[in-house]
Copies of this chain bind each other. A is one copy, B any other.
């Protein structure tokens, strides 16, 4: 307990220290990831291909491989000030519970009403849409964190929003849907009768609970049929990683301020939005030879894109409507089991994270959901915060590293990304509390079905 008196539990940075620029990690990467391809021509996607679907300034950011720093506009900084800096907290009580010599820090992104880090990019995307004179946005949401964040941002900037929510999620999480409605968004369970894509899927599979892939197809269709509308996405893309770099920059500022040098940085990995943001400036330094930090991506065993996927060109959605991206993938037709970490149920991984992993800059592990919830509850009871199931993957991995430190009597500094809160995941916690939570760990045969949906194109270009 002595240390608590010496070092603040929360490591503050002041409002004046808030980052004024995002960090574009890709600009500092020695090798860039492969370009997106037009699935029809197999040629590199051009800016023109993208303007019907995406906002112009976001496309500029997506294609920018040269500028390491990009100014954050004042309108976005003002919004960030409503909920940032997010706390960086020393997990004293968890350390004490584990009796480890390791120091564990968590960067907590759940202290805003949307409950997760997704808001960092949602506000940026809504801002640029407004600036471009658009009046309407569309998106898809699975677990609902991204949809909620975008609903908040659109309410603030006065934009209409259509959210296509995976039907089974909208039924399992009626309160998530209600939160988006409270922020003025129209939420449509997908597949719906509103789009050709939805109607076709409903005709083929009348009772389907939907999928993220189907919801993406519907959202893109609505956006491209309205000249004042665009489609926005909360993960996978490089511009999302750019916006999320605010997490890592704040973390680095705070650690530097207190003279703390991380040995290991850990984040959960679904589409890579949080992980890429958290590690960005540290990874940039590693590439430049300035540190030797271990980076660990943690994914669920039920959706193990990095640990068991193939590094290949694949579609971003099940409907096969997006450009092709070279990434670690389980196949665009892979159907993940109903693991409760809805934010980690994506068949692919951001091309940026995929490339870093492929080139050996980071590690990845996959874990089962019962062990994850076990430490989610222990974390809640010691540190006071109820973590999202997604975030709890990072907690679990951090605990494993801290226990290794205990065994080896080593004092390592571990930083983990705590992406959000679990308020809308109480059904999952109830199953765990009732000891009825099931692990979904696919065998090779399960994965083969997904791999068969990876398009058969020349992979090495």
Interface residues of A, Cβ cutoff 8 Å to B: 1, 4, 8-10, 12, 14-15, 78, 81-83, 89, 93, 111-113, 115, 152, 155-156, 174-175, 178-179, 181-184, 377, 380-386, 421, 423-424, 426-427, 429-430, 433
Contact = CB atoms under 8 A, between A and B. Distances in A.
A107 to B, nearest CB: 15
A131 to B, nearest CB: 15
A4 to B, nearest CB: 6
Given A1-B78, A8-B15, A10-B15, A384 B179 contact: no
Given A426-B175, A430-B178, A381 B8 contact: no
Contacts of A82: 9, 89, 93, 383-384
Given A156-B381, A179-B386, A423-B424, 6 more contacts: A8-B15, A10-B81, A181-B429, A181-B433, A182-B377, A182-B429
Q: Chain A's interface: helix, strand, loop or mixed, by majority?
A: helix
Q: Give me the 9 closest cross-chain CB pairs, A-B, nearest first.
A: A175-B426, A155-B381, A423-B423, A178-B426, A9-B81, A178-B430, A8-B15, A113-B386, A181-B433
Given A113-B421, A152-B384, A381-B156, A15 B12 contact: yes
A84 B78 CA distance: 23
Nearest to A176: B426
B81 A4 contact: yes
5 contacts: A9-B78, A175-B423, A175-B427, A175-B430, A182-B377
A113 B4 contact: no
Contacts of A83: 384
B423 A382 contact: no
A182 B429 CA distance: 7
Nearest to A152: B384
Nearest to A4: B78
B156 A382 contact: yes
B81 A429 contact: no
Contacts of A381: 152, 155-156, 183-184
Given A111-B111, A182-B377, A429-B178, A81 B8 contact: yes
Nearest to A75: B1
Contacts of A111: 111
B8 A179 contact: no
Contacts of A155: 380-381
Contacts of A10: 15, 81
Contacts of A182: 377, 380, 386, 429, 433
A112 B383 CA distance: 11
Contacts of A384: 82-83, 112-113, 152, 156
A17 to B, nearest CB: 12
